[in-house]
Chains A and B, each alone.
Chain A
Amino acid sequence: DAGVIQSPRHEVTEMGQEVTLRCKPISGHNSLFWYRQTMMRGLELLIYFNNNVPIDDSGMPEDRFSAKMPNASFSTLKIQPSEPRDSAVYFCASSNRDRGHTQYFGPGTRLTVL
């Protein structure tokens, strides 16, 4: 079975540009999580969805960040406008809530904002 798929794997953009990160969770999983990882702050949960509904977005840094999950097999994290301090690795993870809380991570998107 395919794992969590993220695209792009690397993104380099200039300050002020819009960035869209994409995630395809594991088929049959009903929860999806977006994380950000930096050396300074470690791994931070930004937002998570259950059955496509946002449950907790308290980790979203500010209004420049938004996330959607239009269906069970796709989610996006958008940053508009992007800033250099948004540079980080962004991970998507999915889990099956009915089978415990083990999360399966994608390979991540390394974002660099110049």
Chain B
Amino acid sequence: SQQGEEDPQALSIQEGENATMNCSYKTSINNLQWYRQNSGRGLVHLILIRSNEREKHSGRLRVTLDTSKKSSSLLITASRAADTASYFCATDNFGNEKLTFGTGTRLTIIP
């Protein structure tokens, strides 16, 4: 079963708007990562946040983590057409390098 569940499953916004995606997970984690997958391609790592961190930024990306609620959010600011892709969260447990991926959010940016 999927550890992570992304919400919403699909999101369409106008170019220039901000996009927010959420991820919930079930068990304690060591790290949480976000990946992007363009159509027909492999997943690409975007950002990693550790369990003792609450917020992290990378360019137009902002990730938050709330371990008490077992949830994370990914914010993409000033969206561009090139941001159209599926976004997945992935978690790993202490002492285990396996990643458990969520179901993904399909983001469409309308030019």
Determine if B88 and A105 form an interchain contact, defined as CB atoms under 8 angstroms apart: no
Interface assignment of A34: CB less than 8 Å from any CB of chain B: no
Contacts of B45 in A (CB 8 A): 102-104
| B111 interfacial contact with A, CB 8 Å | no
Residues on B with beta carbons closer than 8 Å to the beta carbon of A105: 42-44
Q: Are B48 and A43 in contact (CB under 8 A)?
A: no
Contacts of A101 in B (CB 8 A): 30-31, 33, 48, 92, 97, 99
Q: Residue A28 at the B interface, CB < 8 A?
A: no
A42 to B1, CA, bound (A): 10
The reply to whether A107 and B103 form a contact with Cβ atoms under 8 Å apart is no
Contact among A4, A45, A50 for B42, CB-based, below 8 A:
A4
Q: How far is the CB of B29 from chain A (nearest CB, A)?
A: 11
Contact digits for B42-73, partner A, Cβ 8 Å, 1 yes 0 no: 11110010000000000000000000000000
Chain B contributes a number of interface residues (CB within 8 A of A) equal to: 20
Known contacts A42-B104, A101-B92, A102-B48: does B97 contact A50 (CB below 8 Å)? Answer: yes
Main SS at interface, chain A: strand
Q: Does A18 contact B (CB under 8 A)?
A: no
Give per-residue flags for B84-111: 1 if the beta carbon is below 8 A from chain A beta carbons, else 0.
Answer: 0000100010000111111110000000
Q: Assess whether B97 is in contact with A31, with CB atoms less than 8 Å apart.
A: yes
Q: Which of B2, B99, B104 is within 8 Å of A103, CB to CB?
A: B99
On whether the beta carbons of A42 and B97 are closer than 8 Å, the reply is: no
Contact assessment for B101 and A91 in the assembled complex, using a CB-CB cutoff below 8 Å: no
Contact status B48-A42, CB under 8 Å: no
- Ranked nearest first, the 7 interchain pairs of A and B with the lowest CB-CB distance are A105-B42, A43-B101, A105-B43, A102-B45, A101-B92, A107-B42, A42-B103
Which residues of A are in contact with B by a Cβ distance under 8 Å? 4, 31, 33, 42-43, 45, 48, 50, 56, 91, 93, 95, 97, 100-108
